[in-house]
Amino acid sequence: MSIESRKKPAVALVNKGFFHDAMSAASGKGMPGIRIIAESIPSECVVEAQIEAGIDAELDNIIAALTAPLTAAERTPKARETEKPSRIIFKGNLKDVNRFFYKRGWTDGFPVVPPTEEEVAEMLTGTDLPPSHVVAKLMPRLGKATVEKIAINAVMAGALPTYMPVLITAVEAMVEYGYFRGQAVSAGSWAPCYLFNGPIRDDIHINTGVGVMSPGNIANATIGRALGLIVKNIGGIRKGIEDMGNMGNPGKYTLVLGENEEQSPWEPLHVQHGFKKEDSVITIFMPNNHAQSVVYGTSDDMILRTIAYNISPSKRGTMCILIGPVHAGVLADKGWTKQDIINFIAQYARAPLSHMPYYWKAWLSIPREDVKGMAGQKGILLNPKDSPNESVPIIIPELVRLFVTGGTGGDINMLSGVGRWISRKIELPANWDALVKKYQDIVPTYALY
Amino acid sequence: MVSSQYEVLSPWADADRVPLRGISERLSDLAGKKIGLFHHTKIAGPPITAMVERKLKERYPTAEFRYFRFSRTGDIEYRLDRIGLPGDQVQESQELERFERWVKDVDAVVGAVGD
């Protein structure tokens, strides 16, 4: 599109599985007539024979795309008629509402809470921003994330009104991150992980302890869920059309964790990055996989080696190490700070050069000067004479965070992803204390047997 | 038992209409033209564009080919947003200047996602 808008004819070759994604992107950016060829070369293929067959099959179409005269619609596209629905989009019982929403592609597959005027009005009490306030326009549709639309999706997810400040801040953080134009639609299936620090954790009962990544807490479950619905219904990012995540990611249902600041021997994540301890902060990053390792032993040395030796070469360098309070205490007692730990892992998480994807040129998007070692070693180029057995670092220490969370058991968990970290302070409404008090006793009580 | 009836609001957001633009006039022929080959940093980009060059060269021996790729993934709008941001290690404005020179030089472009 950038080339076409500079008055040069262009044709895009896309794998046929991405065709609808490409058309959606082109329409969303105002150039629906762009000429796109859905080729049959396997995704990310580097086998010459398969590429040759794919190009041979489309060569006449490629030439025609650059030379065949424009149609009237390509020269002057007309706007597609858009639906102008009434405010009440549907009336029905619980089952019918759910089936209607599901068939419109508005859910994540789970049942939703019907977003009635009454439910949405209650949700809106969680913020003092007006319902019509546009928090952001979310790509690729540039859908308006009004406070009301955020509230509607929050109701559907089963969220409480006290989550509205979190949802609004999270939307802003994801926009700042660039999530909607990048990871949200990537074949890499990156899912936002939302990490919480500060008083908000207790205010809205975000789980910071045992089973921190398991179901069972409304806050952890529905904050992530609501944001997933917002990505879909406001951003317009739907699985298989705009969201090209190949295998997908269960983290797209929810991935919300709180730091166990009370039992951590170290500075919490948000304080490390410039916030005050009393600030409520959300931090996001983009993992696409989760690995758990049983520790090799419970001494500091064994805990650290467990982490360092269980990071695989295919990881992209960004990582959150989830460490329970018991292991954190062992490490701190031996004088390890969070940064010491990260430095140790950066040094000892290594693999033979030939095990790294960039050795096989799998990651062209990494600048050549960063390729070797993936540790910011500027100026060290991947040289054909480098030995394939040379040991190289796997992670980028600047992109690694340590987060104390989870139960008292022996496992270390690692969420690996790509890209940077964004933290934002959560702005709370004036009546926050009253709101917290109103919903604070909504906690589960488990019958003993 | 009578089941409750719900009147529900839509979660689907409104969006402003994006101004629509037509695409550029096509070439009459590729003979003697400069064909730009663009790929977006994914692994299959280079071999696909190399194959396109080879096959087009067989049909149009007088055509010339000019390659371009950005040093990092990201579309033009992403780059425009990132110019001047602190911590950005790629000089986006220099990347864009390089892109503009390339587009100006070519007559048409074949792009490959390679994803």
A55 and A167 share a domain?
A: no
Residue A93's pLDDT is what?
97
CA separation for the pair A229, A216 (Å, rounded): 19
Residue A136 lies in a domain: yes
CB-count exposure of residue A276 (10 Å: 0-12, 13-18, 19+): exposed
Residue A187 contacts B, CB cutoff 8 Å: yes
A58 and A137 share a domain?
A: no
A21 and A71 share a domain?
A: yes
Q: Which residues, numbered 45 to 104 in chain A, qualify as contacts with chain B under a Cβ-Cβ cut-off of 8 Å?
A: 45-46, 48, 51-52, 54-56, 59, 62-63, 66-70, 74-79, 82, 85, 87-95, 97, 101, 104
A181 and A42 share a domain?
A: no
A51-71 tens-digit pLDDT: 999 999 999 999 999 999 999
Residue B109 contacts A, CB cutoff 8 Å: yes
What range defines the domain where residue A41 resides? 4-75
Most A CBs within 10 Å: which of B5, B7, B20, B23, as the mutation test of the A interface?
B23
- Total number of domains constituting chain A: 2
Residue A215 lies in a domain: yes
Cβ of A10 within 8 Å of Cβ of B108? The answer is yes
Q: Which positions in chain B touch A105 (Cβ < 8 Å)?
A: none
Residue A372's pLDDT is what?
40
B111 by DSSP, 3-state: which? strand
Closest approach of B87 to chain A, Cα-based (Å): 11
A169 by DSSP, 3-state: which? helix
- Asked which of A59, A75, A91 is the last residue of a domain, the reply is A75
Q: Which positions in chain B touch A117 (Cβ < 8 Å)?
A: 7, 9
- CA nearest A119: which of A84, A94, A83? A94
A165 and A294 share a domain?
A: yes
A164 and A268 share a domain?
A: yes
A63 and A130 share a domain?
A: no
Q: Which residues, numbered 359 to 378 in chain A, qualify as contacts with chain B under a Cβ-Cβ cut-off of 8 Å?
A: 361-367
B20-57 tens-digit pLDDT: 999 999 999 999 999 999 987 677 888 899 999 999 99
> What is this structure's pTM?
0.89
Going across the sheet that includes A281-294, the strands are A256-258, A193-197, A281-294, A411-425, A318-323, A400-404
Q: Mean pLDDT for each consecutive 10-residue tract of chain A (449 residues)?
A: 93 91 86 94 88 96 97 90 81 97 97 98 98 95 96 98 98 94 88 97 97 96 98 95 93 97 97 97 95 94 94 83 96 96 91 79 47 35 65 85 93 90 97 97 93
Residue A366 lies in a domain: no
Residue A444 lies in a domain: no
Cβ of A31 within 8 Å of Cβ of B21? The answer is yes
Residue A90 lies in a domain: no
Q: Which positions in chain A touch B13 (Cβ < 8 Å)?
A: 138, 141, 143-146, 149, 233-234, 236
Where are chain B's structural domains? 34-112
A156 and A34 share a domain?
A: no
Would you give the distance in Å from CA A289 to the centre of its chain?
Answer: 11
Comparing A22 with B76, which gets the higher pLDDT?
A22
Cβ of A13 within 8 Å of Cβ of B90? The answer is no
Residue A44 lies in a domain: yes
A61 and A124 share a domain?
A: no
Closest approach of A48 to chain B, Cα-based (Å): 7
Residue A363's pLDDT is what?
54
Residue B37 contacts A, CB cutoff 8 Å: no
> Residue B9 forms beta bridges with which residues?
A88
DSSP-assigned letters across all residues of A283-333 = EEEEEEEEEEEE-S-SSHHHHHHHHHHT--TT--SEEEEEE-HHHHHHHHH
Cβ of A8 within 8 Å of Cβ of B15? The answer is no
Residue A199 lies in a domain: yes
Residue B96 contacts A, CB cutoff 8 Å: no
Task: Establish, for the pair of chains A and B, how many residue pairs have beta carbons separated by less than 8 Å.
Answer: 239
Give the rounded percent of residues in chain B with a pLDDT score beyond 90.
56
